[in-house]
Structure 1
Amino acid sequence: MNLVEKVSRTEAEHFADRSAKHGGMARPSRQKRVIAVVASLTASLVIFRLELLKRLVAAGHDVIAFAPEHDPRVEQELARIGVRFIQIPMARTGLNPLKDLRTLWTLRRHFARLQPDIVLPYTMKPIIYAGIAARTLGIKERCFLVTGLGHIFSEAAGASLKARAIRYLCVRLYRSALRGARVVFVYNDADDDDIRRYRMLQGDLSPTMISGSGVDLD
């Protein structure tokens, strides 16, 4: 077993079980669906999400992964398990609104063309921009993996006027992205508390806590 295969099965099982309960992707499913997985770091698709991707493919779905870097080894591994890869522009840590709008527009254009049934983004910018793109296109099955809300929500970000302004903007963007979500997974109490504190979710939807991506001890 190589390094990229040593990932937890827990995350995949939580996603399949929770989605099935909400009328989403069942496990196993006879209906082939198009699932778009959006990441901010290409390598993370195999380091952290390989087991999830493999299970989605094994369930008979057409899985497309989106990420910013061209990484031949990752793309080869994704192709090996039957996942298509599409490179997208994304400044992972930048604050340039024009670059972020380009990310949003690119994702929206791809989603409009590919018509995914489920959109599954993780980390801050994929959640915000893939979430907004999917919602504005009427894609109802939007499932989010909140592996961290971003540095701006940490104590280290401080309470300066700039930090408060950026945090306020991020909260508004999160609310827009998560509106009408099917399920929102969180991995720690801090993110769960912040999502509730800033009222990022509407209606009866609450974050679903799971114990993390974990390590496959086998």
Structure 2
Amino acid sequence: MKKILFCDNSLKEQLNFRGDVINNYAADGFDVILVSPLNCKYHPVYPNIQHIPVELNRSGMNLIKEFRYFKTLYHIYRKEHPDYIFHYTIKPNIYGSIAAHLCHIPSTAMIAGLGYVFNKKGLGCWIARELYRFALRFPEHVFVLNSRNRDIVLKERMATTRQLILLSGGEGINLEKYRSNSLRYQ
């Protein structure tokens, strides 16, 4: 049976935004592994979905904690050895892409937005940009959701045109859950 792994910086967002995609893989018979911090209650819809909780400070830059997170991903990937890995958000994209490469597992990095790392200056942001540039050499694909991010990724030489895929139609979020009439603009 094929095994697919989704790595994100929040279980809540992983389920909220990617739950339908995750459930579709499980319904199709894949063994699905979710790797993320446990920040909500979760009861899988399918028995072939498992969650492996990890510790991650989403905005911290403590080198010891960052290395511990990388090492945790590396050990999970070696133990589980999925057929494919999808990474979401900056730290899973960076550390997870490197760990997947070292474990010889194909992966995709999903960049929903580039955020403060590319809008601000400073040593921390510069380090993050350089880590991104290094890590994004390894995934088979780098998904972006808009042309602005695509242009930045290409300009900053973070990924090649061969790797880069613009998902102009979105990443598969169930729009029925987020109907425009339920949003209120003022």
* Same-fold call, TM cutoff 0.5: yes
2:100 to 134, 139, 152: 134
Q: 1:170 maps to what in 2? A: 128
* Amino acid corresponding to residue 169 of structure 2 in structure 1: S
- 2:12–2:39 Cα contact (<8 Å) kept: no
Structure 1 gaps of 5+ residues are 1-31
Q: 1:69 maps to what in 2? A: 38
Q: 2:5 aligned with 1:47, yes or no?
A: no
Deviation of residue 70 (structure 1)? 4.2
Query: CA separation in 1, counterparts of 2:17 and 2:169?
Result: 14
Alpha-carbon deviations, 1:112-158, whole Å to 9, x = none?
1111110101111111111111111111x21121112232212xx2x
Alpha-carbon deviations, 1:34-58, whole Å to 9, x = none?
1110111110122100111011112
Give the secondary-structure state (helix, strand or coil) at the position aligned to 2:159: coil
- 2:154–2:161 Cα contact (<8 Å) kept: no
TM alignment of 1:1-218, pairs within 5 A: 32-72=1-41, 75-76=42-43, 79-82=44-47, 83-139=49-105, 141-154=106-119, 157=120, 159=121, 162=122, 165-202=123-160, 204-212=162-170, 213=173, 215-216=175-176
- 1:38–1:122 Cα contact (<8 Å) kept: yes
Deviation of residue 194 (structure 1)? 1.4
Query: CA separation in 2, counterparts of 1:92 and 1:130?
Result: 14
| Gap change, CA 1:95 and 1:192, over 3 Å in 2 | same
Give the secondary-structure state (helix, strand or coil) at the position aligned to 1:81: coil
Q: How many residues align?
A: 175
Query: CA separation in 2, counterparts of 1:145 and 1:104?
Result: 18
- 1:185–1:210 Cα contact (<8 Å) kept: no
Query: CA separation in 2, counterparts of 1:132 and 1:33?
Result: 22
Higher relative contact order (CA 8 A, sep 6+): 1
Moved over 4 A (4+): none
Deviation of residue 60 (structure 1)? 1.5
Give the secondary-structure state (helix, strand or coil) at the position aligned to 2:45: helix
Query: CA separation in 1, counterparts of 2:155 and 2:165?
Result: 12
Alpha-carbon deviations, 1:149-192, whole Å to 9, x = none?
232212xx2x4xx2xx3333222212332223222111122211
* Amino acid corresponding to residue 175 of structure 2 in structure 1: V
TM-align CA RMSD:
1.9
Structure 2 gaps of 5+ residues are 180-186
* Amino acid corresponding to residue 21 of structure 2 in structure 1: L
Query: CA separation in 1, counterparts of 2:82 and 2:115?
Result: 26
Query: CA separation in 1, counterparts of 2:13 and 2:82?
Result: 21
Q: 1:10 maps to what in 2? A: none
Deviation of residue 203 (structure 1)? 6.8
TM-score (norm 2): 0.85
